Chain A
Amino acid sequence: DSGVTQTPKHLITATGQRVTLRCSPRSGDLSVYWYQQSLDQGLQFLIQYYNGEERAKGNILERFSAQQFPDLHSELNLSSLELGDSALYFCASSVGAGGSSSTDTQYFGPGTRLTVL
């Protein structure tokens, strides 16, 4: 158990809908990361938040957004869902913000499996 929790574990929804995925980081971690794992794209970094502020952005679609709250939990919002958004969404957390000389380590949650029908 990494200490990172994600809810829900599974989510089934229809195209065009909007869903919210939730992540609670390990105790003491200030950074939260979101990754998407799909068969065709593999594991891809979406976005990082550090202490409530966006820190780094990856291949995140405009239909997707995230935020980190004062209690450090994070939510990933996915809207206007398409079939291709079906994937496993991972949250990870780490102590620091990262950077060129950072030796931070990311610990991953169990993931939320999203199925769009």
Chain B
Amino acid sequence: AQSVTQPDIHITVSEGASLELRCNYSYGATPYLFWYVQSPGQGLQLLLKYFSGDTLVQGIKGFEAEFKRSQSSFNLRKPSVHWSDAAEYFCAVVTGGGNKLTFGTGTQLKVEL
């Protein structure tokens, strides 16, 4: 079955430092991959998505992600983290019939000032 793994449950970085959140997927065909962010008490906001083409995708708020088929990964990066980036980040893949999203367990990001 298709699945998404986010190995890091919690990550703490200092403001201004670079960030990389890991996401690994298990899917037979070319996956459609997404990163969403959930701020405390808020809904899920789409950061970026990958369907095909250029493996480095740019998103909102200065985030980018790179699709690496050989590593089955879709890691999220940001060169300089801001305190407002503190939130929970979810990687997801479209699976099955319809348009079902299968989510990872999320990575909680804490930003130290």
The interface of chain A, by Cβ under 8 A from chain B, is: 2, 4, 31, 33, 35, 42-45, 48, 50, 55-56, 58, 90, 92, 94, 96-100, 102-111
Contact = CB atoms under 8 A, between A and B. Distances in A.
B43 A111 contact: yes
B98 A55 contact: yes
A31 B102 CA distance: 17
Interface in B20-60: 29, 32, 34, 36, 42-46, 49, 51
A48 B99 contact: yes
A45 B100 contact: yes
Contact of B51 (A45, A97, A100, A103): A103
Given A90-B44, A110-B42, A110-B43, A102 B105 contact: no
Nearest to A9: B41
A108 B43 contact: yes
A7 B32 CA distance: 30
A26 to B, nearest CB: 12
Contacts of A48: 98-100
Contacts, number: 72
A2 B99 contact: no
Contact of B103 (A42, A103, A105, A110): A42
Interface stretch (B11-19, B62-70, B74-82, B89-97): B89-97
A111 B38 CA distance: 11
B99 A99 contact: yes
Given A103-B32, A105-B49, A108-B36, A97 B98 contact: yes
A4 to B, nearest CB: 8
A99 B96 CA distance: 8
Given A42-B106, A43-B103, A45-B102, A99 B97 contact: yes
A12 B75 CA distance: 38
A98 B99 contact: yes
